[in-house]
Every structure is written in C-alpha cells, then in structure tokens.
Chains A and B, each alone.
Chain A
Amino acid sequence: AQTVTQSQPEMSVQEAETVTLSCTYDTSESDYYLFWYKQPPSRQMILVIRQEAYKQQNATENRFSVNFQKAAKSFSLKISDSQLGDAAMYFCAYRSARGETSGSRLTFGEGTQLTVNP
C-alpha cells in the first residue's frame, strides 16, 4: 500500500517570502500522479498543483512550483511571494496510474498547517 508522509505539521512564513513544504511517499509503482491540495478555513479542498510521475519537468502554477525527485520519492511544494490568502492546511496526495480500482483513490498525507505573517 502506498503511504504519504508530511513531516512538518506546522510552518510559518512572512508575507512576500518563500516557503517550501515537504512531502515524501512510498510506492513500488513506477507510474503515478502527485497532487497538492489546499484546505483553507472554509474546509473546501482546492487543487493547487499536480505532477505526472513520467514527466521529468517540475510542474509550475503561477507562484506555486514543485520539486519532484522520483528516485528519492520526494515531492515538495514551493510557494513564492507568499500572500495572506495562502494561509491554509496543505495536503500532499498520491494516486496510482494503474487499473480502474486502485488507480482512482487519492492517498493523502496528514497535512501541513501554513501560517502567513503580515
């Protein structure tokens, strides 16, 4: 079974600064997808960014980018120019690329609570 680990329960960053959230995962599969979701106080789960494991290029979405290290099974999220609205719980998630059943569920980490200080 796959597992996702987020070793930082809490992180804080000054507004306009850069912060990196860590995520590692364990899998025996070679083809899979990785995601970062954001959960603000409203509790809504919002997709931030996704990465296909077969792609070597790191995904980027505006101020959000990832550092995907497949051999190390690491998938960190970098937030540049942090804004007050970035304050939220961030979850890393894994999804297998195989099959109709196990290839659909998301496996989440325990989350990192990000605080943005003005």
Chain B
Amino acid sequence: NAGVMQNPRHLVRRRGQEARLRCSPMKGHSHVYWYRQLPEEGLKFMVYLQKENIIDESGMPKERFSAEFPKEGPSILRIQQVVRGDSAAYFCASSSRHGGPDTQYFGPGTRLTVL
C-alpha cells in the first residue's frame, strides 16, 4: 500500500513563474491537506480538500495560491507568479475521514526554491 506521493520532490522556479505541486493520497483516502513549512519553522495549515470540493481554505494566502482535488487524478497546489518568500517545503497529507482520531499521513514534501 503506497504512501502519500508528492512530486516533484524539488522544484526551482524564477520569480514570476508558476509552480505546480502534485499530491496523490494514500489508496482509499479521500481527504487531502496541504501544509507549508518555512525555513526554521513549524508546519502551517493551508487548505483542506475532498474530491471536487474545497472544505477549508482559511490558511491559503488570498492571492496567487489555489488548490484543487479533481474527481480523477492528484491534488494540485498551484502558485502563480512566485516570489522569493514562497520558498518553502510544501507537505501534503491524507486521511480516510475527517476529524476523529484518524491520522493524517504525510508525503515526503516538495521543496520549492524561488530564484
């Protein structure tokens, strides 16, 4: 049973370019969460999605960031017109249901570097 998959593991973009980060949840999981970890800091919640629905995006920056989890395929975190402050590790987690003691299993993260 494969774990949470994220790709790419490392992504380098120049300022103004777009970054697309992909997350495939564990088999049987329909809940996906995105977190961002800035250097030397803890993880910060960004968005919670279920298939075709954004449930909670209260942690997402208001501009340039968007997320989706289509009926088919991986969840995508999209950052438009990247700036140096977007450089961070982006982690995806999945669970089989919301709430409860159900564990969120994390992927290996995507490290985004903006030049």
Contacts and interface: CB of A to CB of B under 8 A. Distances in A.
B89 to A, nearest CB: 6
A86 interface: no
A25 interface: no
A91 B93 CA distance: 15
Interface residues of A, number: 29
Nearest to B99: A103
Interface string A74-117: 00000000000000000100011111111111111111000000
Contacts of A97: 99-100
A104 B43 contact: no
Contact of A52 (B44, B89, B101, B109): B101
B69 interface: no
A45 B31 contact: no
Contacts of A35: 103
A47 B104 CA distance: 8
B109 A44 contact: yes
Given A43-B109, A44-B108, A91-B43, A50 B103 contact: yes
A33 interface: yes
B42 A105 contact: no
A46 B55 CA distance: 25
B42 A104 contact: no
A101 B56 contact: yes
A93 B89 CA distance: 18
A43 B89 contact: yes
Contacts of A108: 35, 42-44
A103 B42 CA distance: 19
Contacts of A37: 106
A45 B106 contact: yes
A105 B43 contact: no
A43 B109 CA distance: 7
Residue from the set A33, A42, A105 with the largest chain B CB neighbour count within 10 Å: A105
B111 to A, nearest CB: 8
A43 B108 contact: yes
Contacts of B93: 45, 106
Interface of A: 33, 35, 37, 42-47, 50, 52, 91, 95-111
